[in-house]
Structure 1
Amino acid sequence: MASAKYREIAAALTAEIADLPPGTKVDGELAIAARFDVSRAAARAAVQELERQFLVRRVRGMGTFTARRVDYPISSHRAPSWSHTLRDAGATPRTVVRSCESIPMPAAVAAKLDAPEGTAVWRLQRRSFTDELPASWGTEWVPAATVPELPTALRVSDSLDHVIRTVGGVAPTRSWVRASMEAAPDEVADELAIDPGAAVWFVKSLNTDRVSGTPVCLTERWIRADAIRVVFEVGEDLGG
């Protein structure tokens, strides 16, 4: 009976918030409990049900807000650009550089970038937002020879794909992608403003120049599962 009640409440709330824009503050547990004359435990279960469906997002110390997951398609047919892909999905992207330093290329990275170990490489760490919500964080490795003045270029444009194309003079395309659903480590949780252990995508990919096949960027990116719907497109039939 209790299970049926919280599901009824969740269904009622789902209908009410359906047309609200993302980021709209809605009733929390106490208000829901009073309104539906149920225990706080039942109200909490109803809110958790909405969270499981990615319809709301709770922000510690601030309240409960409507949510919208943005599609992030991954395909060899699309440019490997975070900002371009999110704009196509109707979202507003923004990326902040956390660090950008030139270091000797580690052996594991060199193997992926097909370069000698110790070659100069940019290690770039960035946090990306969608509609001002922290949505992605990770590390990108760009051979220094591809974009010698990467820190300067990123002050002009926050799109790494755009910088590599315009400054590096290459046409990045996805060579391979590996993705898995993981529990957010503490550092990732801090960067993405989520609880440690929350569900996140871990996506590792290599971009190469479409013409020469030369590796131009290795990416290791953590993506919030409650903010981004990662969609893999494989094959020719990419409709609906």
Structure 2
Amino acid sequence: MEFVERRSGISLWRQIADQIRIAISNGEFDESGALPGELALARRFEVNRHTVRSAIASLAREGVLRVEQGRGTFIARHTKLQYPIGRRTRFSAGLAGQIKSRGGFLKSHVTEAATGHVSRALELEPGAPVLRLERVSSADGVPVSRGISWFDAERFPDFANRYESRKSITAVLNSYDIEDYVRISTRISAHHADPATLDDLKLSPGAITLRTEAVNAEVAGRRLEYSHTFFAADRIELDIDHQAGTALP
């Protein structure tokens, strides 16, 4: 772990929480999973114990740490879900064998004018009408991803209504006689969760998300979907399936 920066514009407790996350990922704690005490951490980061306590409380709310009264703070060990990124990535199939149940809901939908980025991804004219869907997906009752997708509104005029009844992008596309589709590009980046993602995934400020920016198309090449998906980094890992031919520009 490193010392925090006092003039970075990022609160000290958030920086400490991030450093603890990194340390956990790097396996820097012993097999007991115990963190150093508040006083030791305060000395290490050159902050007061209240700041350390705020960082620990944030990670405990997310389930990263476990605070045991009279014993100390421990890593809440759990197995992350492995989510494959391949040419035919599907949420249900990707988590098959790892969870007992999947769920989710459509948070909102709206028809809007395609911005330059969306129009290029879908190969539409700038300003063309597109349907914007926002949805949250869960695994065994725990929210793991927040997705924003755009579709050609003229080609799929009642996509949102069909999604409400079918609860699946693949099932909706099948209803439009699109039997198969593939992912033709994926970009992956890491970010602090924005307010909407914090709320949807039940995370604490400072939580890290993995964002995928992807384009799906029919096998013949016609663009179908442009999406941003935010995964809770403490709950899920992205597994790049090279044999499936995923493109990572």
TM normalised by structure 1 equals: 0.71
Q: CA RMSD in A?
A: 2.5
- Cα deviations across residues 57-116 of structure 1 (Å, max 9, x unaligned)? xxxxxxxxxx3321100112xx23212322354442212101111122222200111111
* Runs of 4+ in structure 1 over 4 Å off: none
**Is 2:171 the counterpart of 1:154?**
no
Matches of 1:27 and 1:223, distance apart in 2 = 22
Structure 2 residue aligned with 1:29, among 68, 75, 78?
68
Matches of 2:147 and 2:124, distance apart in 1 = 22
Question: Unmatched 5+ residue regions in structure 1?
Answer: 1-5, 12-25, 34-42, 56-66
Aligned to 1:9: 32
- Specify whether residues 232 and 111 from structure 1 end up closer, same or farther in structure 2 by C-alpha distance, changes over 3 A only: same
**Is 2:97 the counterpart of 1:97?**
no
**Is 2:239 the counterpart of 1:231?**
yes
**Is 2:186 the counterpart of 1:163?**
no
Aligned to 2:181: 172
- Cα deviations across residues 207-240 of structure 1 (Å, max 9, x unaligned)? 0101x20110001010011211210111379xxx
Alignment of 1:174-213 (within 5 A): 174-210=183-219, 212-213=220-221
**Is 2:224 the counterpart of 1:216?**
yes
Between 185-194 and 128-137, report the one with greater CA deviation.
185-194
Matches of 1:109 and 1:27, distance apart in 2 = 42
Letter in 1 for 2:215: L
Structure 2 residue aligned with 1:118, among 106, 127, 145?
127
- Cα deviations across residues 29-53 of structure 1 (Å, max 9, x unaligned)? 116x1xxxxxxxxx11xx1xx24xx
**Percent of aligned positions that are identical:** 21
Matches of 1:99 and 1:111, distance apart in 2 = 23
Aligned to 2:17: none
Aligned to 1:69: 80
Matches of 1:74 and 1:105, distance apart in 2 = 26
- Specify whether residues 145 and 172 from structure 1 end up closer, same or farther in structure 2 by C-alpha distance, changes over 3 A only: farther
Matches of 2:68 and 2:229, distance apart in 1 = 34
Tell whether the 8 Å contact from 2:99 to 2:140 is kept in structure 1 after alignment: no
Matches of 2:202 and 2:215, distance apart in 1 = 27
What is the total number of aligned residue pairs between the two structures?
188
Tell whether the 8 Å contact from 2:133 to 2:160 is kept in structure 1 after alignment: no
Letter in 2 for 1:72: Y
SS at 1:195 equivalent? coil
Question: Unmatched 5+ residue regions in structure 2?
Answer: 1-28, 35-64
Matches of 2:221 and 2:244, distance apart in 1 = 22
Matches of 2:177 and 2:151, distance apart in 1 = 10
SS at 1:189 equivalent? helix
Aligned to 1:19: none
SS at 2:83 equivalent? strand
Alignment of 1:132-143 (within 5 A): 132-143=141-152
